[in-house]
């Protein structure tokens, strides 16, 4: 058993932790085979925001919601921001969408057709205007761009086109605004993706300048990739800007964070703690990017927030002084045991205590079920068209 250290610092760090939830996780989503609609799912951006505010109400740790454009397009983004504020949350990252338009069959910003590239780049610029209206700090870019067959297009020209579009978006950023560049190994492109990995994203961010940083989506790697190494490397370089947390068993599964491999999430959060990067003041946006296909959405998102908190609490419990000493002395087994002792600690009582101290219910999921919110939204949202991943 681990000797629990003075928990004052651990609790203080956990109290400050912030996790951003994604508007699209509250909507209906599914696989390419079937979307199973759920009663009570939001019909509008406002209703997605209301659900995000509900997650914050029960967790106290999710005070912002990321939007995806055009899924969350409204006429008046300043008014939407005011609506969110009245519910106790803020608008987080603005996610662009240059992957669901007929024109993007051969790519968006890397398309061989200059007119299509212009249209896609204009969308990125429009997203910055939305950030101006919402007060968002983060422009989050993910490109589905890539090719399916060798010879389909010129790999190097596509990098030039990507760099040009990123430059335009970057130059449009105002003070206090940042560009987060996400990567993904494959899908929908199956032969070559234009930003397939952290190294490509990092290289573009370096070229762009200090306002550009990498977003790590935990589901976007080859099986067996050591994600905590990427975290450590990017932190050392000052280029880690955000996470899209989710779980994967196979590819981009978008399951609840910490569900498939809680040990990996702990190892990632250990590097964050090791890099003194947990505090919101450091600037990392810890987002979720999930789709809840068969499970109830709001409880699944609350569960995900709790899973990230548990991984973080365990990471904070690693006895770093003892670990350094063991590492210095070449005590391999001892060093590993120190890490495993922290991982194997049951931190749920600690987090329950913290919630109680903050005036929250120690069991947010049970509290949600008791609250009547689910019954209320099922009754209130019976008519109209439910939002979906893509609507
Ligand atoms: C792409 O797979 C991705 O991870 C990007 O972040 C998109 O914006 C998001 O999924 C949509 O769920
Ligand atoms: Mn993502
Ligand atoms: Mn993804």
The residue count of the chain comes to 391
* Distance in angstroms (rounded) separating the CA atoms of residues 46 and 44: 5
The residues lining ligand 1, judged by C-beta closer than 6 Å to any ligand atom, are 24, 95, 142, 182, 184, 217, 244, 252, 289
The residues pairing with 20 across neighbouring beta strands, listed in sequence order, are 287
Asked, for residue 95, whether it belongs to a domain, the answer is yes
Owning domain of residue 256: 16-318+359-380
Catalogue the long-range contacts made by 203-211 (C-beta closer than 8 Å, 24 or more residues apart).
204/162, 204/163, 204/166, 205/179, 205/181, 205/239, 206/239, 207/163, 208/166, 208/167, 208/170, 208/179, 209/170, 211/170, 211/173, 211/177, 211/178, 211/179
The closest ligand to the CA of 24 turns out to be: 1
- Ligand 1 atom at shortest distance from the alpha carbon of 96: 8
**What is the distance between the terminal CA atoms of the chain, rounded to a whole angstrom?**
50
Interface predicted TM-score (ipTM) of this complex, two decimals:
0.98
Which ligand 1 atom is at minimum distance from the Cα of 29?
12
Count how many domains the chain has.
Answer: 1
Residues 170-229 have pLDDT tens digits of: 999 999 999 999 999 999 999 999 999 999 999 999 999 999 999 999 999 999 999 999
Look up the pTM and report it: 0.97
Domain presence at residue 57: yes
CATH number of 245's domain: 3.20.20.150
Residues 202, 263: Cα–Cα separation, whole Å: 26
Number of neighbours of residue 385 by Cβ within 10 angstroms: 8
Would 219 be classed as within a structural domain?
yes
Nearest-CA residue for ligand 1 atom 11 is: 289
Whether 328 is in a domain gets the answer no
CA angle 375, 377, 380 (to 5 degrees): 110
For strands 146-147 and 192-193, give the pairing.
antiparallel
| 140 is a domain residue | yes
Biggest CA-to-CA distance, the chain: 66
Minimum-distance ligand 1 atom for the alpha carbon of 217: 4
* Spans in the chain with pLDDT lower than 70: 1-5, 390-391
At residue 389, the pLDDT reads: 72
Q: What is the pLDDT of residue 293?
A: 96
Inside any domain, residue 113: yes
Is residue 202 situated within a structural domain?
yes
Residue 370, in any domain of the structure: yes
**Ligand found nearest the CA of 25:** 1
Please give the structure tokens belonging to residue 376: 């209320």
């Amino acid at each position: 058993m681990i000797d629990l250290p003075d928990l004052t610092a651990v609790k203080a760090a956990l109290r400050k932790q912030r996790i951003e939830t994604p508007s699209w996780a509250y909507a209906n989503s599914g696989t390419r085979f079937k979307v199973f609609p759920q009663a009570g799912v939001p019909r509008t951006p406002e209703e997605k925001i209301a659900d995000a505010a509900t997650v914050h109400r029960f967790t106290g740790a999710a005070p912002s919601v990321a939007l995806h454009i055009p899924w969350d397009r409204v006429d008046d983004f300043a008014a939407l921001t005011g609506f969110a504020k009245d519910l106790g949350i803020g608008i987080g990252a603005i996610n662009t969408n240059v992957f669901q338009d007929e024109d993007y069959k051969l790519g968006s910003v890397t398309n061989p057709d200059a007119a299509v590239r212009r249209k896609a780049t204009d969308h990125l610029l429009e997203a910055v205007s939305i950030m101006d209206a919402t007060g968002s700090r983060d422009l989050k870019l993910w490109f589905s761009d890539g090719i399916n067959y060798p010879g389909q297009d010129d790999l190097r020209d596509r990098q030039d086109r990507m760099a040009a579009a990123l430059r335009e978006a970057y130059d449009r950023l105002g003070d206090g605004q940042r560009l987060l560049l996400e990567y993904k190994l494959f899908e929908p492109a199956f032969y070559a993706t234009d930003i397939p990995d952290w190294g490509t994203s990092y290289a573009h961010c370096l070229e762009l300048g200090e306002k550009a940083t990498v977003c790590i989506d935990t589901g976007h790697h080859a099986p067996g990739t050591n994600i905590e190494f990427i975290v450590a490397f990017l932190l050392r370089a000052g280029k880690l800007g955000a996470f899209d947390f989710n779980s994967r068993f196979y590819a981009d599964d978008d399951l609840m964070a910490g569900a498939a491999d809680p040990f990996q999430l702990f190892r990632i959060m250990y590097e964050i703690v090791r890099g003194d990067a947990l505090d919101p003041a450091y600037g990392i946006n810890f987002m979720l990017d999930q789709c809840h296909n068969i499970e109830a959405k709001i409880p699944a998102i609350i569960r995900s927030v709790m899973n990230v908190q548990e991984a973080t609490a365990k990471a904070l419990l690693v006895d770093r002084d003892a670990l350094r000493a063991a590492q210095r002395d070449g005590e391999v087994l001892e060093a590993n045991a120190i890490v495993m002792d922290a991982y194997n600690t049951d931190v749920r009582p600690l987090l329950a205590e913290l919630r109680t101290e903050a005036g929250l219910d120690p069991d947010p999921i049970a509290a949600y079920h008791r609250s009547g919110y689910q019954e209320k939204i099922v009754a209130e949202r019976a008519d109209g068209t439910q939002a979906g991943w893509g609507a």
